[in-house]
Structure 1
Amino acid sequence: MTQKSLKITQSFFIALFIMASLVSCKNNQEKKETTETTDSQPETQELFFEISLAQWSLSKPIIEGKMDPMNFAQKANEMGFTGIEYVSGLYTSEIEKTNLATVLDTLKARSGRYNVENVLIMIDGEGDLAISDEAERNKAVENHKKWVDAAQFLGAHSIRVNLFGSDDPEVWKANSIDGLKSLGEYASSKGVNVLVENHGYLSSNAKLLVEVMEGVNLPNVGTLPDFGNFCLKREEGERWEAACIEEYPKYQGVEEMMSHAKAVSAKSYAFDESGQETTIDFGKMLKIVKDAGYSGFIGIEYEGEELSAEEGIIATKELLIAEGSKL
């Protein structure tokens, strides 16, 4: 090899070494940046539940005439929900204008168009299933049957009912078992569940409600634990608006009801600066729900005054995702 050839070869290897060093440094830097990004932004853990929107969260704009209840599916889709929970009472005027069948046809078509699942229907104003008057109790059962049929038509898995009636625990328990068993047997033939929410008075006594479930002993009759509705007694015996003067322990109540739960309601009222609900520990509630083995829909039911309906719904959704991701 000539002296000139030797110098050219040496220059080539020096250049090759420098290029290799630069590539190695770049790869190390990229690896470092990737590691730092991963460390500072951990992946969000998949939620153990799905999130639905309870229509009661939008009750104010609906009642005030600012929102058409027939557009519920569209609104839920726009807000990023995949499941919806109807409230029967918000369709009273629509049903009076036409009929229940026409309303249901429209709701089913729109839920399909906007790709949301019809989860359940919350039933109000159809009579008391735990009332002591047997004729009135039976009439209430009959009144609820059309909503069982409605749930079947919409593809919803459940209807939510109320158990209002006697203030005597044993009388209430016996009446509740009778009313629920009659309605539950009918609903079973339609493939629909009948769920009881803690919705005030003795229905918010979770221990007593579980005894009712055991007394009914039907696989399609269960509970819908609500994070917030555990008021047992209000001033002057009022059902809704008066101040609560006696409350069942809410975390204990949800835990007891989860043994028969087929749906869950995430009630919210107000939020602090960090996004936490001011009266309910969502992290604690969600751990109770997860420990019970539940993995279905959790419905958002915002009832606050400080935020608008949409703002409250979004705040509740963000909180569910934040706390659920930790479990």
Structure 2
Amino acid sequence: MRRRLLSRTNMFGLFVVMVFVIIGLAFYVGARAVRIYVGSLREREDIVELLNEGNFLRVLFLAEDTLAMNPVDANARAFAGIASFYLGVYSYEPQERTRYLRDAIYHLRLALELDKDFVFRAQVHYVLAQAYLHLNEYYANVAVEHLLSARELGYDVAQIHEHLGVAYIRMGDAERGVAHLQQVHGERSSQYHIILGDAYAMSGKFLDARGEFLRALELNQDDNVRDRIEMKLAKVYYDMGNLTEAKQLYLLLLRRFPDDAQAHFILGKIYEEEGNLNLARASWRRSLQLNPQNSEAYAKIYGE
């Protein structure tokens, strides 16, 4: 009797195990069928067309979905990187922007490593260089390497000279930066003239710098950008020795930006050259309050 009960218990346990196995197989087959069906739907989507349409989130989703099943797919890495780059560039939230740009660099570098004969290597180098330039000015030297690699592989678009110009200027090589910027043909943006103005100012060509900044002001209607250009222009006027125009512009700008430490400091130097030491010291004190690390302002107030 007891043996019969044990036998029935064993049979029941075996039955339960078989039920779970069947259910598991059904879920596996069902999930696989759904994956195949969804995959077949996604194959109908042209990822290049989506990229050209600017649907970067969808491109990233499709690329990451492919990478989940095949993490060494160079094409998927490239598309994930390109989509992440544009999502970063168009993001207004700083942390999100940085995250997308870092993701772009990660994917694009992997794409280059995974396939040495990758058909889109030139484009990947080009976008990777831009990602470095947008992420941080200290990556300018790495950006130059990738821009030169893109050009060597035949990707010699007009914008490559502008990007090289920006990168060399950030590296402190103003002469080489200007040489590349001058090779940019066609319509030139306000940003182009700002960059060229910075290069001329860095080289001590203040008259040329003033011309570029004035041209940038003509082309730009964005108040925030115009304020930034005018701040650069005020510094150029000071460097040229045109103290009257520099002073007028700094006083105007400080009404809008009363907490700009550098503007207060230079205004103090203008007052000093005019012989008004009381106003000069007041400006330097304000500059030091706003930026306690300003050793120049400290030296002006308390001596060397």
Instruction: Give yes or no for TM over 0.5.
Output: no
TM-score (norm. length: structure 2): 0.27
In our comparison, the structure showing a higher alpha carbon Rg is: 2
TM-score (norm. length: structure 1): 0.25
